[in-house]
Structure 1
């Protein structure tokens, strides 16, 4: 399982391709110049086909690795509502999303290189065994060489490792942590960190020390194989730039894990 790197490089990822029709979210064009991996929406929680194609094209032109950000079928809720979907249906949903994004990637001269669950699905598979197994089953059926991104200590990564998948642990520079190492729900205070300077310092410490302070003041260990800066966080471009500058100032380079 990929954890905190011992070399002076780290992957920086962001959720992109989340605009829908006339509704615009984030600045994908700017973000692809600041990250090394793009978690591209697959149309279930966000992203229409033209948006996805434009995002993949920009990522490919910038040399950024494309990953599939798979989600519950929940456009209205932006994939941030838990859905008690049957495992076989969830496996099929993930396969459907992988196939859709792969077609767009192929048209733009690139490919899906990894898989990351989104939003409520990401949080559910931290502990939900049947849904974690369903997502893993989809990746194994589609391409067992694809790495998966997930929260350290999650049921999802444990199931993925048991299935022989490469597992990459993820840290969140712009999200609040609970004392147990899980992410604070977005409905609660401290869930999102928006000050670029604060996020940058958190990112540097997570990479160099493997530590972060939870919302209730507890210092916890974090294992970071890839660092996430959300594309929909207010001021996302400034945040990503500050993170890159902070890492560079400390001699940490960036490179995709996939």
Structure 2
């Protein structure tokens, strides 16, 4: 195969990619060393900057959503991953019931928000039904469970749901739910802090006190949602053993960069990301 003259090859390369830092360096007479130094950037540094710059956000696929899921190594303590089919069927009966409208000053409006909360916790769709790809993974530790979901909301707006979540500690700070058997449960909602990750985020702790199987019980759930563009991570963790706030924080801290990597066309590292 006939090789093109070096000068012609260099000229064609410059014409095709004019304007980028690396091309400017490559088109200089001595391989770009002087041009790079003039900008205070070496050719190696320029290459590293280009490698670290995320590509345009891609549409999340089902395979991508699964790739973005966390593993046991990403969360602290002794969580054990369960089968996906088992996690899909996790529903806590303490979350079934009708909100008592008489608990609220503005009645129907506030009661509707609180009803939406307990319904979405039971159905595992805190941000609404995904309009695109989605994947979930479940973990167990004693009597506690952690459900981690990655989903695309490309035709809906996860930001609206985050705004709704942000108002719940005020609107639904405490209310009563009446179960089908007439039993009453007290629900309290407070906000919890989350690591500064993603484009937007909200965290809640929901405590339900009532009875199950004829015995008094307290269900504590820590809930987090993190938006990355039109996609989002949701984490729900807890049970009768108490709060799981540390594990929720760790999940979003390690999981958000995994989702960002997938959307940038990169394969997430198999080991937990070290983010301070």
TM-score by length of 1: 0.27
Structure showing greater radius of gyration is 2
